[in-house]
Amino acid sequence: MDKKDKLRRLKNIEGHIRGIQRMVESDEYCIDLIRQIQAVQGALSKVSAKILNEHLHSCLITAVRGEDPDERERVLREIAEVYEMASKV
């Protein structure tokens, strides 16, 4: 996923959030609001997974092949952390 694709997806998500604001303003049905919010959360999970994939194929490879054990450890720990966090949000 290149930069353009990421920005396009985030623009869409921003538009989706504004759509939900309009739904709130016109007092639309609560359950429809919740469903739209859940759709946005799904779209965010997708962007996030794509960014992680990119990270694995660039920074991670560099760090693992590099000479600095602290840097490598930091990069591995960060991936473990966002994975743990992902199961919670």
Shortest Å distance, C-beta 68 to a copy of itself: 14
Torsion angle of the four alpha carbons 8, 13, 19, 23, in this order, in degrees rounded to the nearest 10: 170
* Residues in contact with a copy of itself by the rule CB under 8 A: 3, 6-7, 10-11, 13-14, 17-18, 20-21, 24-25, 27, 29-31, 33-35, 37-38, 40-42, 44-49, 51-61, 64-65, 72, 76-80, 82-89
**Residue number with CB closer to a copy of itself (53 or 68):** 53
Cβ–Cβ under 8 Å, residues 73 and 60: no
**Both tokens of residue 84?**
């743990």
